[in-house]
Amino acid sequence: MFTSNPFAELSASISPSVMKTYIVVMIGLVAAGTIYDVLHKKSARYFRENMRKSKAAATQKVSGGEMLSMAIKTAVVDVAASGEFCNARRRIAHLLTMYGFVAFAITTAVMVFSYSTPATATPPILPQLWHIGALMVCIGGYWFWFFIRVDVAAEGSTPFRIMRADLFILSLLASATFALIWSYLQTSGNSWAMAAFGLHVIATTVLFGSVPWSKFAHMFFKPAAAFEKRVSAANGSRSNLPAPADKPETLGSPVEQPRHY
């Protein structure tokens, strides 16, 4: 199962050109959905206004070298290592899901476009990464859904309570889960393999087609927000806040300032 390219076997039932067209359509849906999200929520204007205000309120100049350094730190710390998560469990779950999705999506595209027929031998590393990526998505995603979500972990709500914001994680989990089921059933020659594949396609279509209504587009906005935060801290605009008001006196005596040990 882990060394078998499921798309090569699928070519006996579905033309490789159909599979390639489907991937192109999904990429188009993500691009169109992200553009719509940017225009509808005015995200680009928001970040542009924030950068303009930050520049106007700056108390010190930031050099080009510093900007490059902050861009690299944003990519390494905030994006690659998910530095915005202070909770270790949440960060690990997020990293498992993120890198699993990247491996799953990239290997899908490579196998479909380059090794979609049994006539072309698939390098074993590709199906292995495809299966491992899907497993990582399932481990990180189900861990988050059942044990880490705030309303489940802190508020004791049922994990089966679903809101519109959950569309992204649920469709991603469904896509990865049915992909693994489909691969297993297809390898074992089970007649239910095509049914599992159909559910995988439905879940994947919902995942990529629901960008304007899910959190999918956040992966494009978070790096911009993290970079803007670093720039604001570096040029002094973030610290350019009004000083706190004096503490009122209590019974004629000044309030003692808290001590830090």
CA nearest neighbour of 237 among 61, 67, 46 = 61
Cβ atoms of 37 and 217 within 8 Å: the answer is: yes
Matching residue, tokens 């990464």: 129
Res 43: pLDDT = 66
Confidence band (pLDDT; 50, 70, 90) for 252? very low
CB neighbours (10 Å) of residue 151? 12
Q: What is the pTM for the complete model shown?
A: 0.81
Q: What is the mean pLDDT of the chain?
A: 83
CATH number of 6-46+87-233: 1.20.950
Torsion 71-73-78-81 (CA) sign: positive
User: Structural domain boundaries of the chain?
Assistant: 6-46+87-233
pLDDT tens column, 13-37: 999 999 999 999 999 999 998 888 7
Q: Give Dmax (Cα) for the chain.
A: 90
CA distances from 132 to 15, 104, 108 (A): 26, 8, 12
Neighbour count for residue 165 (Cβ, 10 Å):
10
Contact 210, 166 (CB under 8 A): no
pLDDT tens-digit map of 51-70: 777 777 778 888 888 888 88
Residue in this structure with the two tokens 């469990």, named with its chain if needed: 89
Whether residue 151 has pLDDT greater than 70: no
3-state DSSP assignment of residue 78:
helix
What is the pLDDT at residue 243? 47
